[in-house]
Structure 1
Amino acid sequence: MLWSFPHCPNETDWSINWPALEAEFNWLRSLADCPQDPRYHAEGDVLIHTKLVYEALVALPQWRALPATERSVLFAAALLHDIAKPASTQREADGSITSKGHVLQGAKMAQEILWDLHVPLKQREAIVALVKYGSLPLWFWDKPNPERAVIKASQIVRCDLLSLLAEADVRGRYCNDQAQLLERIDFFREFCQENHCFEQPRMFPSAHSRFVYFQKEDGNPNYEAYDDTRLQVVIMSGLPSAGKDTWIQENLPDSLVISLDELRQKLGIDPEDDQGVVTNAAKAIAKEYLRSGQSFVWNATNLSRQLRCMLIRLFASYQARIHIVYLEAPWPELLRRNRDHPAKVPEKVLYRMKNRLEVPDITEAQVVDWVVLG
């Protein structure tokens, strides 16, 4: 069954049902009366801008030509692209209006909203990525390494869709430099095409070459890295009760497993206490396996990219091949499983963990699997 976002226009009717959208989504109504700097957004508040972006997007022939699911993904991203501005907007001492940090904060808010709407994982993360990288077509050339910036983005979200969202964003504002901004987007499209990453992810000679490329800041995407890995580490990722133990039992029943939950119980550490002792004990066991060349599973929540990267650097330094398995369950099902679990996590802790969640992407490891259970 194809997924579609509520009230997304289609070929039978390209009109936008604003009353239905505002009635269904109270967070959309929160954009009203949020001011913007008139030098860059003379059209008015954030809701006015969002409506203009929508109208611009739906009018684009390239958007109308997309398959229905991709149209919905872009439509949702346009709806959410400035969702964090009300929380981050402030008036500076010189009278200017800023909204610093609204992009990253907006990506997190979008993930929460879409999860509550039961948007499927693949489409949800595509929308979140569009919100997160939506301004890249305008500013990619200012990055320290523009080539790496667009190649990385292409692994996570389609750059042609990014360019359409950016174009709609620019056409949905009143500003003196609109023509120059549209030129930047055209330059972005050409640059992505030159780097073979416009309508598809940039391909690498191998999965290991891709992994090596993203471990460095100045790598060559054409370099075929010699695969010197001698063992595999499977890093589990997912909220408590997402099904990590079950997945390991069903897919890797004979593997060595380092379980932080088991170590936590053995050491008598509460989930809300400092986990440093547990982590250090787990790393000590892991180093024994790594030194002896034994493959193993690292079973923990591993919710943040920063934490996963620290582990990956450690394991890769011992020539380990990294395989991340991310598991997810619908939120009501996850809460039910947690309540029935003998070592259940306090729900307030579970909600905090959900807010910290960063779903792994393919730039982190040689292999990444995303599994929805239940």
Structure 2
Amino acid sequence: MTDHSLRGTEPSIVRTALENRDPLPGTTGFAGAVDDRLVRDVLGRVPLFVDEAPDVAPANRAWAFEPTELEEPTLFPAGAAAAVDGPLPEPESQWSLPDPEPAEPDAALEDLERAIETATDAVRRDDRDIAVAFSGGVDSALVAELLDAPLYVVGFPDSHDVEAARTAADAMGRELTVVDLEPADLERAVPEVARATGRTNAMDVQIALPLYLVGERVAADGFDALAVGQGADELFGGYEKVVRLDHRVEAETVRGAVREQIRSLPEQLPRDVLTIEATGLEPVAPFLHDTVVEAALRLPDELLADEDERKRGFRRVAAQYLPDEVAGRDKKAVQYGSLVARELDRLARQAGYKRRIDDHVTKYVAALLGDDETRRD
């Protein structure tokens, strides 16, 4: 049991991590209050917000795990610890992301496989009924195989993700539940997602919608938790930009670019966690366990990505459990693979928010929330 004011782990583990300045103490993240101090783990895996309303003094400032509970919610920085009534600290002021030397390839692969097994073993020990958000890609397929949990895919009938999930499930000899979407599902869910996450920009809403809609079905079917493959692309070199080393990254090496993507997680993960929690489910992300993060940070360049293959080391581990055709698969980003982005754009244009309007989908989201006064015609 964890303290009601702390999520993710026990207070004793956080106290030890504070004392030793250990950024990866063997958890899947934590946040909350311990001994009158607010804390949030180095990757921001558990959302934590403080009220930054201008008329609220730090001594009277409220904090919460959901943004809806505060007047002016601001994310508490990842990797930070500060007095509950003190000023906001800088990110990574208490814990910083480790920067170990790369391991030899064979040792790095052994460490990664062991770490993934440790993380999934920890999930299996918990007394929860878990389903998997399954896209047919290697990330969610490995989660599904290791947890031996039911598979759910969400998307419009002609979407890439639905077809990819069907073929992957067939290759794995698994049953699959397909959550077919209609445009009305998006119209209904957009305000709920935006309110739960505190975000209205088009990209965040497009990414969150598939998670929310598959989570709704999973919850309705009686499950307690939704397992996801989140973190794999960031940890293991799943993005094209880490190979190209173009203007989207500052690093000059693949390994450095991957590290940049890992450090982007504290901004992304609250959206996904809050979305899943809004359906009444607990999010489960085995690849974000501290042991997996540690192993990922030690991967050398040749086990990350190049022009021929991304997530090479991760795929080698996955190939120990999955058919080759699944372990070697690439995937589309969920908002595109599910066709949610396409259909939300279509709904925005049908409502009069034409593409000539700057950020027209974001303005459509605001309109569904009743917050938009943009002239559409």
Alignment TM class, shorter chain as reference: under 0.3
Which has the larger share of helix?
Answer: 1
* TM-score, structure 2 as length reference: 0.24
Structure of greater Rg: 1
* TM-score, structure 1 as length reference: 0.24
